[in-house]
Amino acid sequence: MEQYIKTGLVGATGYTGMELARLMIGHPVFKLVLATSRKEAGKTLVDIFPHLQATILADVPLVSPDPDVLAKECDLVFLAVPHGTAMNIAAELLARKVRVIDLSADFRLHDAGVYEAWYNVTHTQQQLLSQAVYGLPELYAQDIAHAELIANPGCYPTSAILGLYPALQQGLIKTEDIVVDSKSGATGAGRKASVSSLFCEVNENFRAYNLGQHRHTPEIEQEVSVAASTPVTLSFNTHLVPIDRGILSTIYTRLNQPATLTAVHDLFTRFYAHKSWVRVLPQGALPQTKWVRGTMFCDIGLAVDPRTDRLIIVTAIDNLCRGASGQALANANIMFGLDQTLGLHGGTLIP
């Protein structure tokens, strides 16, 4: 068993922790040796997740988070704790030469001021920002390969950035008229007890929230500004869908000049030609969240509306897999020189 790469998970009890555990069961190289939870320390994973009975993860011990213990036991640690908390643990682990993949927002924004303005938190580890790599494999695989610290992208940003990147980079659309209308399943709200996340409040319901004010806005803008080679300000808006998993973003853009669907489709297809996980759907087809459930796929559908000079880009991802833990594992693969799809080619669970 020595050839395993030993990993730890800080923050085991949430949905991203559960998803990482799911993917670890089937991964041939990474081995989860330790998980942390202040509240559940002393138990094993199966005690809090009965569905792990009879799997290789059943007996993984739950311990209180201690950087020394983690550093001793692990080559790599995933942080699945809230922003604000993650940054300090990351610093402690990096100081002990452990590689870190942070699933929180703490290292995603290059500008600490922007972070502090949107998250209303002081950034205490700004010295690490320059070494953190934004872990979107389609854009930054080379940097990821040499990173010690990965800022794993947010779920909404993954869906928005992958949709907008080709169009902005190729100058297809206006930078000042972009609306991202995103819809997310309920796992996006996390696994905290709260009345607004109860079954009877979410089920048979659909609602908007955080219009124009979602904290993922600057993350999207940061990355699409790179694509556009100019600062982009856009309107990003979110909704809650009564499903467990999935984000679908409908992205409204204005064409710089008239274009056919065929031309746009070709451009996107070429851009993602050698990317394992981005599927530009055939012309006329539009994504469905169920088609990507449990996978790393980002499906993209395109529509051109000549009546209003608009290009509408629709993307769908699984917010827990592609939008969080699966992407984290992909980054881990790349960091350790493995095939990036290792342990990540399971088929879509459908229906």
Nearer to its own copies by Cβ, of 27 and 99: the residue is 27
Position 4 contacts its own copies (CB under 8 A): no
Catalytic positions, please?
A: 155
Nearer to its own copies by Cβ, of 133 and 248: the residue is 248
For residues 300 to 329, the per-residue mask of contacts with its own copies, x marking binding by CB under 8 A and - elsewhere, is -x-xxx-xx-x-x-x-x-------------
Laid out side by side, the sheet with 99-102 consists of: 62-63, 30-36, 5-10, 76-79, 99-102, 149-151, 133-134
Q: Which of 2, 97, 120, 204 binds its own copies (CB under 8 A)?
A: 204
Nearer to its own copies by Cβ, of 97 and 307: the residue is 307
State which of positions 144-173 bind its own copies (CB under 8 A).
none
State which of positions 46-65 bind its own copies (CB under 8 A).
50-55, 57
| Residue 283 burial (C-beta neighbours within 10 Å; 0-12, 13-18, 19+) | middle
Smallest distance from its own copies to CB 131, Å: 30
Smallest distance from its own copies to CB 315, Å: 10
Residue closest to 79 by CA, chosen among 105, 65, 100: 100
For residues 209 to 248, the per-residue mask of contacts with its own copies, x marking binding by CB under 8 A and - elsewhere, is x-xxx-------------------xxx-x-x-xxxxxx-x
* Pairing assessment for the beta strands 235-240 and 247-254 based on DSSP bridges: unpaired
183 SS3 class: strand
Smallest distance from its own copies to CB 341, Å: 11
Segment interacting with its own copies, rule: CB under 8 A, options 16-24, 88-96, 164-172, 332-340: 16-24
| Residue 78 burial (C-beta neighbours within 10 Å; 0-12, 13-18, 19+) | buried
Smallest distance from its own copies to CB 224, Å: 14
What SS3 string covers 292-303?
HCCCCCEEEEEE
Position 345 contacts its own copies (CB under 8 A): yes
Position 195 contacts its own copies (CB under 8 A): yes
What's the full length of the chain, in residues?
A: 351
Residue closest to 296 by CA, chosen among 160, 190, 180, 159: 159
Smallest distance from its own copies to CB 143, Å: 25
**H or E stretch including 330?**
helix 326-335
